[in-house]
Structure formats: structure tokens, C-alpha cells
Amino acid sequence: MAERQFMQHTDLAPFARALPGGRQLTGFERLTGGSKKGVYRLALDDGSSVVLYAWSAAENYWTDNSVDPRDPFAEGSGLDLLEAASRALTEAGARAPALLLVDRSQSLYPADIAIVEDLRGGTLEAMIARDADAAAAPLHAVGAMLNGMARYRGPRLGKVAAAVSGQAPQDRRAEQIVLDQGLAHLASVAAKVPELGLARERIDAALRELHARVRPRDWYSLIHGELGADHVMLDDEGRPVIIDVEGVMLFDAEWEHAFTRMRFGNSYEMLGIDVELDPSRMALYELARSLSLVEGPLRILETDFPDRDFMRGIVNWHTGKVLRLSGADP
């Protein structure tokens, strides 16, 4: 595989000059951890900093980038998605990083580019680990955002940009999409993880049994899709901001909370969630979520993604959870 070429000072400097006031680039840092786009912190000559996103092939570690507008779980990265998600979150009373510059021209660099405010207060996850008491206020604020997003109503499901424009036609309800995806993920991981291969029939039956208990619903909420405390940054005043928002979609709030409850752990109760969540959907979605968190990292491990131990840890943890939730744990 050819060596990946990332952005350098000469690539980034024109975007600093394009900012209001025409700033000079004094330094930069490529932030690690992303798998679909490049993320760079730019230091500017006035002492401030901003964050640049670059959607280029060199920054994308996913091998399958096909987009099906009918699939809300399809590729969740791109400038159009970022802009639409930011608008919808604002309407729901949630805060995303402020967009400072958008460039689709590819005249300065062969990629779509966005520049957003830099949030230097650290992650909410780090604050919880450092001082749980100090994290109480931002946790409550995140909970208020989640409550507003859950009360947001959309008549059709899908990524926000596609759903609002009518480009996400659907003949399946959310719970059917989750079941179909769960079964597909099970087929994939059963061939790669021996424990799941041996338990495939039991897991398959559990998915179908849980799906059968879900009653139909005809409306959808706004969800982030992967909201953990690591996807919440704090500004200089300690106020929370939701990041990595391109995957924001109209879907069941239970899909959000099946993930959020897992990722926030003991801190979940401090969010103060006051919307009603359907227990039947939660049970199905928790199992399907863990299957997706085995399947996705396994695909990433087939690429040259650098932090392999991290991805392998996710696979192992969720393998155990799938076995427990499906009743296949010996």
C-alpha cells in the first residue's frame, strides 16, 4: 500500500490566510484518532487556533465508501453532512463547533475543507476521569441537549441532509433496518471471531426475538449516533460542545441511548435524561450496537489504521457483550 500523504505547512497556510482577517499560519498539529477525515489544529499569528477538517482519500481508512441514501448507517462523513447536521443540532438546542470557513472549490487543496472553532477545554471524558464532581454541570448540559434532540421530530429517517431534502426514501422502519444490519454484521463477524461463530444460531434467534417485541412508531428523533463523553469537548468556559457531528440523523432516540448509556457508564444517570425510551427498542438496539462494534473495528483492522491495539480491544469487549446479551455466554 502506498504511503499516505498528509497535509503540510504549505498546504495549510492558504486556508489560514482565507480566514476573516487573513491570518498567518505559525504552526500546526495533525490530530490522531480519526478514520474518515484529516483533522489539524492550526496555530495562528494572533495567538488563537482553529481546527481544519480535510476530506481526502489519504485521510480515509475505510475501504468501502459507497453511499446509499436509503441507508442511514452508510458513510457518515463529508462537508454537506457537516453543514446540515450543524444546522439541525442548533434547531434542537444542541451546540456543535462553529463553522468559520467552508471550501468546496478544491482550488487550494484537492479535498473539501472546513475550518471550525478550536475547543481547548479538553474532553468531557477526561474531566469525568479527573474530577467527577466538576463534571456534573457539563453532564447536565449534555443531557439537556440530548433531551432536546430526542424531542425533535422528523417524518422520515436518514442522514439529516438526505432526509430533509427527500433523498432518503424508505420502505423499512428503524427497527427493521437495525435487525437487517445486525444479521448482516453477525454473518460477517461469525466468520472471523470463533466465539461468535459457535454462537451464531443463538445470536440470530435473539435478534429476531427482540425485534418481534418492538411496536411500530411513525416519527423519528435527531440523534448523533456515537455520542460518548469522548465526543463532547469543553470550551474555555467549561461549556460542552458536541463534536464529530457528520453522522447526525433522524432515527430512533433509543439507538442513540443504547450507545450513550454504554459509553457514559456510571455517569449516564447524571445526564438527567427525562424522555421516555422504549425498553423493547433498547434491548434490540443494545445487542445490534455491540455487533456493529465488533464488525466495524474488524474492517478497520484489515487496513493500515495505526492504533491496532485500541481497535482489537473494542472487538474483544463487544464480543463478550454480544454473548451476554444474546444469552450465549457459557
pLDDT tier for residue 74 given thresholds of 50, 70 and 90:
confident
**Does residue 299 sit within a domain?**
yes
Phi/psi-derived region of residue 265, left when phi > 0, alpha when psi is between -120 and 50, beta in every other case: left
Q: Which of 73, 99, 117 is the last residue of a domain?
A: 117
* Same-domain status, 173 and 296: yes
* Same-domain status, 101 and 228: no
Tens of pLDDT, residues 133-192: 999 999 999 999 999 999 999 878 888 887 776 666 677 899 999 999 999 999 999 999
* Same-domain status, 210 and 299: yes
* Same-domain status, 167 and 91: no
For the chain, the average pLDDT equals 92
The pLDDT score that the predictor gives to residue 36 is: 82
More confident residue, 171 or 50: 50
Cα dihedral: 217, 177, 167, 85 (round 10):
80
Tens of pLDDT, residues 220-250: 999 999 999 999 999 999 999 999 898 899 9
pLDDT tier for residue 218 given thresholds of 50, 70 and 90:
confident
**Does residue 3 sit within a domain?**
no
Q: Pick from 136, 118, 325: which is nearest to 235 by CA?
A: 118
Q: Which of 94, 117, 140 is the last residue of a domain?
A: 117
The pLDDT score that the predictor gives to residue 63 is: 59
* Same-domain status, 184 and 78: no
The pLDDT score that the predictor gives to residue 33 is: 62
Instruction: Provide the domain limits for residue 111.
Output: 9-117
What's the number of domains the chain is made of? 2
CB of 174 within 8 A of CB of 218? no
The pLDDT score that the predictor gives to residue 304 is: 85
pLDDT above 60: residue 65: no
Three-state secondary-structure class, residue 116: strand
The pLDDT score that the predictor gives to residue 62 is: 66
For residue 52, what is the enclosing H or E element? strand 49-55
* Same-domain status, 191 and 245: yes
**Does residue 70 sit within a domain?**
yes
* Same-domain status, 100 and 143: no
Tens of pLDDT, residues 242-285: 998 988 999 999 999 999 999 999 999 999 999 999 999 999 99
- CATH (domain of 239): 3.90.1200.10
The pLDDT score that the predictor gives to residue 173 is: 92
- CATH (domain of 95): 3.30.200
More confident residue, 64 or 150: 150
Count CA within 13 A, CB hemisphere, residue 299. Answer: 14
- DSSP per residue, 195-253: HHHHTHHHHHHHHHHHHHTPPP---BEEE-SS--GGGEEE-TTS-EEE---TT-EEE-H
* Same-domain status, 232 and 260: yes
Diameter of the chain by CA atoms? 64
Average pLDDT over residues 282-297: 97
* Same-domain status, 316 and 192: yes
**Does residue 1 sit within a domain?**
no
Q: Which of 60, 89, 117 is the last residue of a domain?
A: 117
Lowest mean pLDDT among 23-27, 157-161, 206-210: 157-161
